[in-house]
Amino acid sequence: MDTVYFDNSATTKTDEEVVKAMLPYLSESYGNPSSIYKIGRDNKKAIEDARQIVAQTLNCDSKEIYFTAGGSESDNTAIRGIAYGYKSKGNHIITSKIEHPAVLETCKQLEKEGFEVTYLNVNENGIVDLEELKKSIKPTTTLITIMFANNEIGTIEPIKEIGEIAKVNNVLFHTDAVQAVGSVRIDVKKLNIDSLSMSAHKFYGPKGVGALYVRQRVKFEKFVNGGHQERNKRAGTENVPGIVGLGKALEIAYRDLDEHNKKIKELRDYFVESIKEKIPYIKINGDMEKRLPGNSNISFRFIEGEGLLLNLDLKGICASSGSACTSGSLDPSHVLLAIGLPHEIAHGSLRISIGKYNTKEEVDYLIENLVEIVSRLREMSPLWEEFLEKEEKK
C-alpha cells in the first residue's frame, strides 16, 4: 500500500460530492456576494443556503450562524467576544485543562488582559469534574468554555449537564465542537449551548472555513473591522466556495451519520482489540464508551512516540502522536498529562483516527506493521532491557 491514512482527527479527505458542489463558485459563479447584480446575488444565496443547513443541523436560527476561517477563529471569536461583551458583569472564565490550544492560548492571553481563568481538572478518562465546575462558579463568572469531544483521546464530555449548570447559574456556555460535529448529533437548544465552534475540514469539507453559532441576544464583540459582512461581525469578502463546501459536507455527514458511525466504530473496536491481544504493556487512553467512534489513543511503554510515527511513515501509514496543532512540540501531550499519565508513558502515545474511507484491509495492514515496529523499537530500548531484567528477578 502506498499511503494509508489514519489521521482523520487532524483533517479529512474532501468528499467528491463536496468538491463538485464547490467548483461552480471557483470558476463560473465568481461574483462578490455584496454586489447587486445576478452573479453577486447568486453567491449571496449560496451563502444563505449553507447557513440554513448549519442552522437546521444544530436546531437553531440561521441568524445565529456566522462563517469563519475555521475552528481556531471560531473559538477565539466566541471566547474573546463574549468575555469583552460581558466585561461589565464580570471577568471570570472557566475552562478545562484538556482544551485545544485555540481555547487554552486564548484564555492565557485574556489572563494577561486582566481576566481570571479557572482550569478544571479531569478524571483518568478525560471527563470534567462537574462538582468542581459547580464550586468554581463565582458572581463574576460570565463564561464556561468546555470542549464537546477531545481531539486527542476522543472522550465526549457531559455537555448536557454542563449546559444545565451554566443555565441555572446564569452563565454563558461555549463549546469547541470541532471534533464532534459530523460524528455526534447536536441540538443546541436541548443541550443549553450558547455558542459552538466547528470546522469543515473535520467532516470531509474544505480547509480554511468554519462556522460559529452564537445564540440570539448573547452579546459578543465583532472580530474583524471593515465591511458589514456576517451581520457586521466579520468584515471581508466571504469565502463562497468554502462556505458552500461546508454546507454540503455537513449535509452529507448527517445524511449518512448512522451508517458511517457503525462502520467506523466496528473498525476502531477491531483495531483496539487486536492491539490489546498482540502487543503487551499498553494503555488505552480515554473513555471507551463516551468516545468519538473513530478515535483510539494508545500509549506503548518503553518506546518514543516520535520513533513510532517515523517508522509507520516509512510503511506509508499516516498517524499522529496527538494534536496536529502541537505535533512540532517535543513536550508530552498536555491532555495525557492531565489524565494522569507519567511523562515516560505519555511520550509513547499514538492516536489512530479512523474515517469513512478506511477499510478493514487497511486496518489489518496497520496492525501487522504496528506489531512489528513496536517489537523492534522495544528491542532497541535500554528501558525495555532494564524492565525485562527486573521481571526475570521477580
- First and final C-alpha spacing in the chain: 43
- Looking at residue 181, its pLDDT comes to 98
Cα separation, 279 vs 383, whole angstroms: 17
Q: Is 60 a catalytic residue?
A: no
The mean pLDDT value for 178-204 works out to 98
- Looking at residue 209, its pLDDT comes to 98
pTM of the model: 0.95
- Looking at residue 238, its pLDDT comes to 94
pLDDT bucket at 325, cuts 50 / 70 / 90? low
- Can you say whether the dihedral through the CA atoms of 97, 186, 8, 15 is positive or negative? negative
Q: Quickly count: other Cβ atoms within 10 Å of residue 63's Cβ.
A: 11
- Looking at residue 264, its pLDDT comes to 98
- Looking at residue 329, its pLDDT comes to 54
Of the chain, the percentage scoring pLDDT greater than 90 comes to 86
- Looking at residue 323, its pLDDT comes to 45
DSSP states of 155-184 as a string? BBP-HHHHHHHHHHTT-EEEEE-TTTBTTB
| 45-50 contacts, C-beta under 8 A, 24 or more apart | 46/240, 46/243, 46/244, 47/238, 47/240, 47/243, 47/244, 49/247, 50/243, 50/244, 50/246, 50/247, 50/248
What sections of 69-150 are H helices per DSSP?
71-85, 101-112, 130-136
- Looking at residue 296, its pLDDT comes to 97
153 or 344: whose pLDDT is higher? 153
Residue-wise pLDDT tens digits, 282-299:
999 999 899 999 999 999
261 or 330: whose pLDDT is higher? 261
The mean pLDDT value for 38-53 works out to 95
pLDDT bucket at 2, cuts 50 / 70 / 90? confident
Average pLDDT, the chain: 94
- Strand bridging mode 317-318 / 4-5: parallel
What sections of 205-323 are H helices per DSSP?
229-232, 240-255, 257-278, 305-314
List the one residue out of 11, 23, 16 whose CA is nearest residue 240: 23
Cα separation, 221 vs 144, whole angstroms: 17
Residue-wise pLDDT tens digits, 259-283:
999 999 999 999 999 999 999 999 9
- Looking at residue 385, its pLDDT comes to 84
- Looking at residue 63, its pLDDT comes to 97
Cα separation, 282 vs 295, whole angstroms: 16
pLDDT bucket at 197, cuts 50 / 70 / 90? very high
- Looking at residue 243, its pLDDT comes to 98
- Looking at residue 313, its pLDDT comes to 97
| 365: pLDDT strictly greater than 80 | yes
Catalytic residue among 60, 107, 318, 325: 325
72 or 227: whose pLDDT is higher? 72
The mean pLDDT value for 159-172 works out to 98
- Strands of the chain, DSSP E: 4-5, 65-68, 92-96, 116-120, 141-145, 172-176, 195-199, 210-214, 282-284, 295-300, 317-318, 349-353
Residue-wise pLDDT tens digits, 85-114:
999 999 999 999 999 999 999 999 999 999
| 201: pLDDT strictly greater than 60 | yes
Cα separation, 360 vs 365, whole angstroms: 9
Of the chain, the percentage scoring pLDDT greater than 70 comes to 97
Q: Quickly count: other Cβ atoms within 10 Å of residue 277's Cβ.
A: 10
pLDDT bucket at 222, cuts 50 / 70 / 90? confident
List the one residue out of 2, 23, 22, 5 whose CA is nearest residue 319: 5
